[in-house]
């Protein structure tokens, strides 16, 4: 494995600033909030949940609203007695959500300190020998999580260090004016578009999308040269920059974008796309985490990506919307349980990805269409991509299965990147 080269000076500058994410007191507090897992055994369980979800402010970490599936729900401490009164059997995945967030913050800070110390040692060692320092700096990026400003700097660094191979792109600007910035790699006639962080609390997706970009730019996989002549890759690590900033400054569990709707912040952009919008699996409550918006494409973030895709059709070979968590590799449709005519082809590719993923670190990914694999979800990105003629659209859910949820430890960034690259490349081989 070879990482992208970042100059020691650049990494040292990042290391000094990068690991100062806001401490817990400045963020929304989730002390004694629990994340519970409910096995959906019958319709009565689903009805009890749906009848009470708004009154109890349920935050669905997973939405598997099918009989036989599991639903993970974040329940606040002040609503927990009312939740228990519903008499729904549950198991506790996370007994104190704030403790998990605090542990994540501590890990980021300690990892940043360790990296700075290692850089100082290497400076002295290699300066004495008169050697280039940049090779040591290369693996640093994927050892930790980073701020929005750092991700912007990382993108710019990749572009400047790979002239002729990488160029700047943007889907457009967010509702608050931040660019949905990324990198274009390769010069093939077939386009592959993928992004992370449509749901802003899913930090691992940002890092894994960047990991894939890194492999395309500087990786040692012998297949890459062929990929770059066959495909042009359009890579945007943070599709929802406003929401991402919110997770780092005020509310780590924020899922939506940064629009203000009816006194609450955010539209779920993955329920706002203009294909089969408002046909199930969404909410009309602006305070809900699945709020679909007042109309299709009311969010600029979804609108921008849709327009970007449409401009590339009919030559879009694949589109991937990367999410977490649950370990799934999914196909359309999300709005209906009736599968599209190319479902068997898409499922075969999804199975190819899952098999390649498992061969790396033993992680099992489930495959299938969105509706039947997890839940009804109209107005989602993969459905829209399918509807406009993208040949292979996927929605992917990365690690894990609930132990850490959205707060996946930094030491799982590289393993998650490795296995996702394996799945991604295995699909490319068959396109």
Determine the 3-state secondary structure of 327 from DSSP. Answer: coil
pLDDT at 21 (0 to 100) = 55
- At 64, is the pLDDT very low, low, confident or very high (cuts 50, 70, 90)? confident
134 within some domain:
no
The verdict on 87 and 220 lying in the same domain is: no
The verdict on 176 and 290 lying in the same domain is: yes
351 within some domain:
yes
CA–CA separation, 144 vs 417, rounded Å?
13
The verdict on 189 and 305 lying in the same domain is: yes
Q: Is 61's pLDDT higher than 50? A: yes
**Contact call for residues 118 and 67 (beta carbons, < 8 A):** no
**Contact call for residues 320 and 394 (beta carbons, < 8 A):** yes
Of 104-113, 196-205, 246-255, the one with minimum mean pLDDT is 104-113
Would you name the residues annotated as active-site residues? 397
Residue 368 pairs with which residues in a beta bridge? Answer: 330
CA–CA separation, 97 vs 106, rounded Å?
14
Mean pLDDT, to the nearest integer, of 124-133? 51
pLDDT at 118 (0 to 100) = 77
254 within some domain:
yes
Of 16-20, 383-387, 411-415, the one with minimum mean pLDDT is 16-20
Helix (H) or strand (E) run with residue 318 in it: strand 316-324
Output the 3-class SS for 186-251: CCCCEEEEEECCCCCCCHHHHHHHHHHHHHHHHCCCCCHHHHHHHEEEEEECCCCHHHHHHHHHCC
Of 109-113, 149-153, 304-308, the one with minimum mean pLDDT is 109-113
Angle, CA 389 vertex, CA 373 and CA 320 arms, to 5°: 50
Of 59-73, 77-91, 173-187, 347-361, the one with minimum mean pLDDT is 59-73
Mean pLDDT, to the nearest integer, of 291-297? 97
**How many domains are there within the chain?**
2
The verdict on 186 and 277 lying in the same domain is: yes
Strand bridging mode 231-236 / 179-185: antiparallel
The verdict on 73 and 150 lying in the same domain is: no
- At 16, is the pLDDT very low, low, confident or very high (cuts 50, 70, 90)? very low
Question: Which tokens is 110 given?
Answer: 């300690």
CATH code of the domain containing 406 = 3.40.630.10
Count Cα neighbours of 336 within 13 Å in the Cβ-side half-sphere: 8
Domain that holds residue 411: 143-428
Of 158, 177, 179, 178, the C-alpha closest to 167 is: 158
What's the pTM? 0.92
pLDDT tens digits for 155-168? 999 999 999 999 99
CATH code of the domain containing 90 = 3.30.70.340
DSSP label at residue 5? P
Mean pLDDT taken over the chain:
90
Q: Is 176's pLDDT higher than 50? A: yes
**Contact call for residues 174 and 242 (beta carbons, < 8 A):** yes
398 within some domain:
yes
CA–CA separation, 12 vs 90, rounded Å?
46
Query: How large is the C-alpha radius of gyration of the chain?
Result: 21
The verdict on 79 and 218 lying in the same domain is: no
Determine the 3-state secondary structure of 149 from DSSP. Answer: helix
The verdict on 209 and 284 lying in the same domain is: yes
Angle, CA 409 vertex, CA 397 and CA 117 arms, to 5°: 140
CA–CA separation, 237 vs 321, rounded Å?
10
Q: Which of the pair, 155 or 121, is modelled with greater confidence?
A: 155
**Lookup result for tokens 């005020």:** 250
CA–CA separation, 378 vs 364, rounded Å?
26
Cα dihedral 423, 141, 171, 384, rounded to 10, equals 30
Mean pLDDT, to the nearest integer, of 374-390? 96
**Contact call for residues 355 and 427 (beta carbons, < 8 A):** no
Question: Which tokens is 28 given?
Answer: 């929304």
pLDDT at 125 (0 to 100) = 62
12 within some domain:
no
Q: Is 127's pLDDT higher than 70? A: no
110 within some domain:
no
CA–CA separation, 397 vs 327, rounded Å?
5
Of 65-74, 93-102, 149-158, 369-378, the one with minimum mean pLDDT is 65-74
| Strands (E) located in 30-115 | 34-39, 59-60, 70-75, 91-94
- At 262, is the pLDDT very low, low, confident or very high (cuts 50, 70, 90)? confident
Q: Is 3's pLDDT higher than 50? A: no
Q: Which of the pair, 103 or 128, is modelled with greater confidence?
A: 103
The verdict on 291 and 360 lying in the same domain is: yes
């Amino acid at each position: 494995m070879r990482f992208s080269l970042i100059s020691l000076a650049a990494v040292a500058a990042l290391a000094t600033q990068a690991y100062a994410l806001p401490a817990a007191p400045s963020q929304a507090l989730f002390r004694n909030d629990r994340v519970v897992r409910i096995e959906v055994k019958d319709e009565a369980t689903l009805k009890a949940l749906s009848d009470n979800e708004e009154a109890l402010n349920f935050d669905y970490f997973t939405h598997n609203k099918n009989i036989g599936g599991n639903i993970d729900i974040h329940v606040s401490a002040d609503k927990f007695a009312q939740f228990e009164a519903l008499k729904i059997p549950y198991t506790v995945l996370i007994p104190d959500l704030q403790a998990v967030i605090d542990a994540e913050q501590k890990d980021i800070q300690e990892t940043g300190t360790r990296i700075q110390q290692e850089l100082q040692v290497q400076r002295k060692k290699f300066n004495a020998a008169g050697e280039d320092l940049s090779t040591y700096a290369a693996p640093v990026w994927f050892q930790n999580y980073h701020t929005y400003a750092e991700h912007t700097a990382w993108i710019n660094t990749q572009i400047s260090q790979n002239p002729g191979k990488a160029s700047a792109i943007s889907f457009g600007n967010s509702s608050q004016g931040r660019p949905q910035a990324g990198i274009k790699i390769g010069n093939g006639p077939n386009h592959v578009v993928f992004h992370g962080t449509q749901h802003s609390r899913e930090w691992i997706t940002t890092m894994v999308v960047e990991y894939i970009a890194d492999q395309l730019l500087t990786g040692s996989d012998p297949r890459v040269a062929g990929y770059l002549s066959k495909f042009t890759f359009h890579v945007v690590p943070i599709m929802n920059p406003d929401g991402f900033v919110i997770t780092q400054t005020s509310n780590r569990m924020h899922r939506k974008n940064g629009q203000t709707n009816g006194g609450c912040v955010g539209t779920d952009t993955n329920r706002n796309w203009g294909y089969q919008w408002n046909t199930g699996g969404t909410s009309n409550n602006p305070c809900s985490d699945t709020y679909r918006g007042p109309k299709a494409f009311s969010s600029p973030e979804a609108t921008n990506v849709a327009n970007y895709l449409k401009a590339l059709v009919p030559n879009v070979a694949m589109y991937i919307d990367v999410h977490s968590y649950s370990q799934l590799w999914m196909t359309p449709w999300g709005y209906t349980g009736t599968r599209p005519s190319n479902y068997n082809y898409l499922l075969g590719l999804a199975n190819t990805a899952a098999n390649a993923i498992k061969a790396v670190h033993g992680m099992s990914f489930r495959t299938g269409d969105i509706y039947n694999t997890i839940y009804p979800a109209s107005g989602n990105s993969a459905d829209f991509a399918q509807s406009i003629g993208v040949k292979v659209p996927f929605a992917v859910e990365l690690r894990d299965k609930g132990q850490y949820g959205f707060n996946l430890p930094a030491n799982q960034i590289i393993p998650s990147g490795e296995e996702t690259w394996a799945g991604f490349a295995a699909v490319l081989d068959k396109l």
